[in-house]
Chain A
């Protein structure tokens, strides 16, 4: 082992912790999701402290936004949470629409809803699949990732891209649901349910899975709210909060769905919340599709917006429920064709800052389980 390599991997801590070992995990490590880095102090295998270091994927998205027009910024939002780019696109489009004081036509809203829920299913499938891989269960990952591929096929038919979607435009969506969607969806729904069922059978009552997840980094609801948690992380702690129910946008108030809530806030509850949310998303898509069918084929999909968008002076904040939680865009306009300031509120930023509280006193291997269950996406964390 060369000296340089040794200093990267293991160094002894400062004098006051002379008995503890400082272990540096990341930024490039197979079990770290993206470029994350945690500096842990360990006593044997127990974590005494864990300090996350972020910024390795910082690309200055907010600075870029100030130098691009409103339409040009849309493709950049794909690169935030790249597991569910459509949710970022729609969140940004809706923020600009709020700034302009317009609303997308109802048919476009339904298409957005269907696509966003598909993206939510894909995001949760990746999260659950990777959580399994990190804990040594490789098989569910294959079941889930196969279905994700089918969902991406629908995205490709609709707007031509699989991962960096750039779906829609300010004022609506560019295209109607593809013709093939109508035959595809009933089959896909059954296969997603089947894959989830298989995953459930493989994991939920598996003795090893239960040992590795139940009671691991349990978190209480009050602490979670104090730290600014949102989304599945907060719901796993037993707080019923979902922006789709609490501050309904698009047509979420016209569909009927449940909000799954956990109890202990541990890794198992986060896994269960995500699994149940996929089923709710399928229900939402079914209902939204029924509503969609009532519209004539030539119903408008775009609101009339000028080619060069110049919103009036003012500032707004608009948030939606992305798969990870509250994703908000704050936009300040000075009346020109470029935003004066764009601030993105990524959901996992708030969760990841409580990382030390989450993993203190746990084992190193539970740190990896915790990281996968949070679903930290470096793209939206560092922006």
Chain B
């Protein structure tokens, strides 16, 4: 049985979309069932190693699509339907099977009005810092994380720098170094 069939077999209804690009398999699962899905992939699918967790801000993709749609509409003098905006954020879990050396990307969508995902630190302790980094960079909160603080930026920092609406040069924030740790 190849990887696609095996994943289909294990997940059943939890599998929303399956896509392959250059040999990398990416599946989408509902965010509510994330912990169960990842636990089943670990137990039954043999994906026993968590490589990384990646956050993505998709807003620019939609902006680009909307611009293209408007241009098309102007040319045709007709209304072009580009559909509703997709959920703004997505989080990708990179899994690896140590026995078969297969990799799998598990994707969940996170809408802007509900920036919360279950933490998977109970399944892999390796998820600890990557989840903190996603929180730091995108503002997605992980429910059940033992220590959800900023990782790379300092604690008083307000924004989330890897969001597409954060400027490249920053907003002129300064870190005030006062070492009153006591």
Contacts and interface: CB of A to CB of B under 8 A. Distances in A.
Interface stretch (A55-63, A83-91, A289-297): A55-63
Contact of A55 (B126, B154, B181): B154
Given A332-B56, A334-B64, A354-B125, A225 B161 contact: no
A12 B26 CA distance: 50
A45 B22 CA distance: 53
Interface residues of B, number: 40
B119 to A, nearest CB: 14
Nearest to B166: A63
| Majority-rule SS of B interface residues | mixed
A4 B126 CA distance: 37
B26 A11 contact: no
B128 interface: yes
B126 A226 contact: yes
A315 interface: yes
Contact of A228 (B50, B56, B57): B50
A54 interface: yes
Given A226-B124, A228-B126, A343-B52, A334 B61 contact: yes
Interface in B26-54: 26, 48-52, 54
Given A8-B179, A247-B101, A314-B21, A58 B153 contact: yes
A228 B181 contact: no
Contact of B61 (A4, A314, A316, A340): A340
Contacts of B103: 317
Nearest to B64: A334
Contact of B26 (A99, A315, A350, A354): A315
A353 B22 contact: no
Contacts of B154: 55
Interface in B136-182: 137, 150-154, 161-162, 166, 168, 179-182
A106 to B, nearest CB: 20
Q: Which of B153, B166, B180, B182 has the most chain A CB atoms closer than 10 A to its own CB?
A: B182
Contacts of A58: 152-153
Contacts of A382: 152
Given A228-B51, A328-B52, A353 B129 contact: yes
Contacts of A7: 179-182
Interface in B89-113: 92, 94, 98, 101, 103, 105
A241 interface: yes
Contact of A225 (B98, B179, B180): B98
B72 interface: no
B182 A12 contact: yes
B161 A241 contact: no
Contacts, number: 96
Contact of A341 (B56, B64, B128, B153): B56
Nearest to A58: B152
A227 interface: yes
Contacts of B24: 315-317
Interface centre among B21, B48, B162 (most CB of A within 10 A): B21
Interface string A2-26: 0010011001100000000010100
A63 B161 contact: yes
A11 B126 CA distance: 31
B60 interface: yes
A225 B97 CA distance: 11
Contacts of A314: 21-22
Contact of A63 (B105, B168, B181): B168
B68 to A, nearest CB: 11
Nearest to A336: B64
A319 B128 CA distance: 21
A12 B166 CA distance: 39
B94 A317 contact: yes
A11 B22 contact: no
A127 B125 CA distance: 27
Contacts of B98: 225, 241
25 contacts: A4-B179, A12-B182, A22-B181, A55-B152, A55-B154, A64-B168, A226-B125, A228-B49, A228-B51, A247-B101, A314-B21, A316-B21, A317-B51, A317-B103, A319-B51, A328-B52, A330-B54, A330-B94, A334-B61, A334-B64, A340-B56, A340-B60, A341-B54, A350-B129, A383-B152
9 pairs of A and B residues whose beta carbons are closest in the complex: A228-B126, A314-B21, A55-B152, A353-B129, A11-B182, A345-B52, A58-B152, A343-B54, A246-B101
Given A4-B179, A12-B182, 5 more contacts: A8-B179, A225-B49, A227-B125, A317-B51, A330-B52
